[in-house]
Amino acid sequence: MESYKMDFRVTVTDRADTIVVHLAGELDMATAERALDALRATDLSAAGSLVVDLADVSFCDSSGLRLLLHLRQAMVEHGGGFDAVGAHGIVASTIEVTGLTEVLHVSPGRRPIEENSDR
């Protein structure tokens, strides 16, 4: 396996009514399924909201966007909220050029809940 694929990390933290998913590395066809696998063990329907932290994602292709849309849809289906935070550089540009900034509730800044995270 190529080293960049091994460098991809997913951390899921349950904080009260919010699940925070921190992704790090390249979110692409080779890694999106790993992120989804990590979330399958999490009961998203029990959460009031899902926050996906993209601050450490260096690249995102259509597979990564599809993952984010899938997660958003899963939250919407049970009345929960979805936010993507920390997107920057090429990741923010990719989200913007595809017209998904508002759909995914993308915020370039970090929320206080992640700033104190012990990832």
Both tokens of 15, joined, read 């904080």
Render pLDDT for 41-66 as a digit per residue (tens, 0 to 9). 888 888 999 999 999 999 999 999 99
Strands 9-15 and 18-27, bridge-based pairing: antiparallel
Render pLDDT for 13-23 as a digit per residue (tens, 0 to 9). 998 899 999 99
Render pLDDT for 78-113 as a digit per residue (tens, 0 to 9). 999 999 999 999 999 999 999 999 999 898 766 535
Strands 81-85 and 18-27, bridge-based pairing: unpaired
- H or E segment to which residue 10 belongs: strand 9-15
Distance CA 119, CA 112 (A): 14
Written as one letter, the residue type at 104 is L
pTM above threshold 0.75? yes
Distance CA 55, CA 78 (A): 26
Q: Domains in the chain, start-ordered, CATH in brackets?
A: 3-112 (3.30.750.24)
